[in-house]
């Protein structure tokens, strides 16, 4: 059983399109995250949700809209895709979420987004 699963694994699309990436965790964690890894392999946090409430928004363009229907799911919708959005997007979760730093991040296997 995969702890943090995201779909699709690969996403190829044209500029201007709207696309979604889905993430689910079966660990019973309260907090979920989206990270972006660019072509230089820098991994940066985008969003964090704690029990369906947004707690981190790292100055991401408002074309990116996370949605958390319940604490086990955090989806990422991207409008009007641009070439610069091409990257690997990772979903992650932690048990409590920032109340202490004594927590492990559990990552999904990533979604490779290619915008043509």
Partner 1 sequence: DAKTTQPPSMDCAEGRAANLPCNHSTISGNEYVYWYRQIHSQGPQYIIHGLKNNETNEMASLIITEDRKSSTLILPHATLRDTAVYYCIVRGVTGGGNKLTFGTGTQLKVEL
Query: Footprint of partner 1 on this chain (CB under 8 A)?
Result: 4, 31, 33, 40-45, 48, 50, 55-56, 58, 90, 92, 94, 97-110
Which CB atom, from 50 or from 75, has the smaller least distance to partner 1?
50
Q: How far apart are CB 16 and partner 1 at their closest, in Å? A: 28
Say which residue the tokens 């947004």 belong to.
Answer: 54
Q: How far apart are CB 48 and partner 1 at their closest, in Å? A: 4
Which CB atom, from 14 or from 40, has the smaller least distance to partner 1?
40
Which CB atom, from 11 or from 92, has the smaller least distance to partner 1?
92
19 bridge partner residues: 78
């Amino acid at each position: 059983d995969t702890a943090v699963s995201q779909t699709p694994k690969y996403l190829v699309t044209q500029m201007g399109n709207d696309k979604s990436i889905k993430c689910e965790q079966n660990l019973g964690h309260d907090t979920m995250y989206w990270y972006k890894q660019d072509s230089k392999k820098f991994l940066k946090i985008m969003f964090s949700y704690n029990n369906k409430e947004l707690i981190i928004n790292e100055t991401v363009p408002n074309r990116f809209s996370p949605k958390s229907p319940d604490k086990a799911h955090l989806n990422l919708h991207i409008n009007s895709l641009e070439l610069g959005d091409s990257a690997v997007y990772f979903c992650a979760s932690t048990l409590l979420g920032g109340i202490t730093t004594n927590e492990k991040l559990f990552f999904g296997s990533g979604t490779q987004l290619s915008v043509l």
